[in-house]
Amino acid sequence: MLIHSTWTLSVSESTVLPRSYGLELVKQLHQKLGLEMGSEKIPSTSYSGILGFYSTSKDFLTFHPEEFYKLSLCGLQEVAAKGIALLESESLEFLGAKFNIINREDETTSYEELYTTLVANEPEPIRQFNLKFLTPTAFAQSSTNLPLPVPSLMFRSWLERWNHFAPIYLGSDELIAYLTNGIMLKHHKIQTRSLVLHKGYVNGFIGDVTLQVLNRADELLANVAHLLVNYAQFAGTGMKTRLGMGQTQVNIMSKLEI
């Protein structure tokens, strides 16, 4: 089971939080789900933090009562997904703040359903994908982090999670090589943004990225790419997706739109 749960939030009065609020919020959400924070090598959840307009002042953020905010929480395996599906709450209260949950939308599917629909049924291939990175996105490389939308690193991050949680194994380094040779970064409009943690921060990129499947790539490869891009909406992209990085929104372009 997979779930992508999107909550619409509001505050009743101006609400001030430290920039590093995200860690406390995600800890509380894990407690509500009955999941141990940090016990998994590959996280079974991804989370967006609170998205929307807020004012900034030094180390603090101010959320406004006239604004609406969004929070996404995704589960990548049965326990986490069912926990999110069954989570019932009218508000989020942490660090002295209270966010009212005024709406909730759940998208659910399964690994088998995604694979059957996008690969096994041999659909007409899609060859262009528009991705929007909503929260800072980066990739761990040895002792440094790379805040750039490198296609091979994006697909590797999605494939690692898919192979870890899905009952259908897709392949490893050889598949990454095929994807790297068959797909290019066509366009991007990005900027750097930092995620502030309790101690320090992590730089990442946010913004729009277009991936293009080359004409020489066969239809099966294009469909596997489509599958992994679609999966990114649940798994997120890159490092620290459990803490609010790498939230990914996808717009699949039909052949007629390209």
Domain for residue 31, yes or no? yes
C-alpha to C-alpha distance for 138 and 101, rounded to whole angstroms:
29
pTM (predicted TM-score): 0.94
Domain at 198, CATH number: 3.30.70.1900
Q: Give the pLDDT score at 253.
A: 62
Contacts with 196 (C-beta within 8 Å, 6 or more apart), sequence order = 19, 20, 22, 59
Domain for residue 187, yes or no? yes
In a shared domain, residues 130 and 245: yes
In a shared domain, residues 87 and 160: no
Mean pLDDT of 210-223: 96
In a shared domain, residues 68 and 140: no
In a shared domain, residues 69 and 27: yes
Q: Give the domain range for residue 190.
A: 125-252
Q: What is the pLDDT of residues 87-115, one digit of tens each?
A: 999 999 999 999 999 999 999 999 999 99
Domain for residue 258, yes or no? no
Name the domain boundary from 82, 109, 136: 109
For residue 75, give the nearest of 121, 120, 108 by alpha carbon.
108
In a shared domain, residues 177 and 81: no
In a shared domain, residues 92 and 162: no
In a shared domain, residues 65 and 140: no
Higher pLDDT, 9 or 258: 9
In a shared domain, residues 65 and 30: yes
For the cut 80, the answer to whether the pLDDT of residue 242 exceeds it is: yes
Considering the chain, what is the average pLDDT of its residues?
Answer: 94
In a shared domain, residues 79 and 134: no
For the cut 60, the answer to whether the pLDDT of residue 257 exceeds it is: no
Domain for residue 158, yes or no? yes
In a shared domain, residues 161 and 244: yes
In a shared domain, residues 20 and 103: yes
Q: How many domains does the chain have?
A: 2
In a shared domain, residues 93 and 147: no
Domain at 56, CATH number: 3.30.70.1890
Please give the helix or strand (H or E) that residue 185 lies within, else none: strand 183-196
Rounded alpha-carbon distances, angstroms, from residue 250 to 3, 109, 150, 201, 231? 16, 16, 16, 26, 9
Q: What is the pLDDT of residues 108-117, one digit of tens each?
A: 999 999 999 9
Domain for residue 118, yes or no? no
Domain for residue 119, yes or no? no
pLDDT bucket at 207, cuts 50 / 70 / 90: very high
For residue 101, give the nearest of 5, 6, 10 by alpha carbon.
10
Q: Give the pLDDT score at 238.
A: 98
Name the domain boundary from 109, 142, 169: 109
Rounded alpha-carbon distances, angstroms, from residue 205 to 21, 57, 95, 178? 20, 21, 27, 25
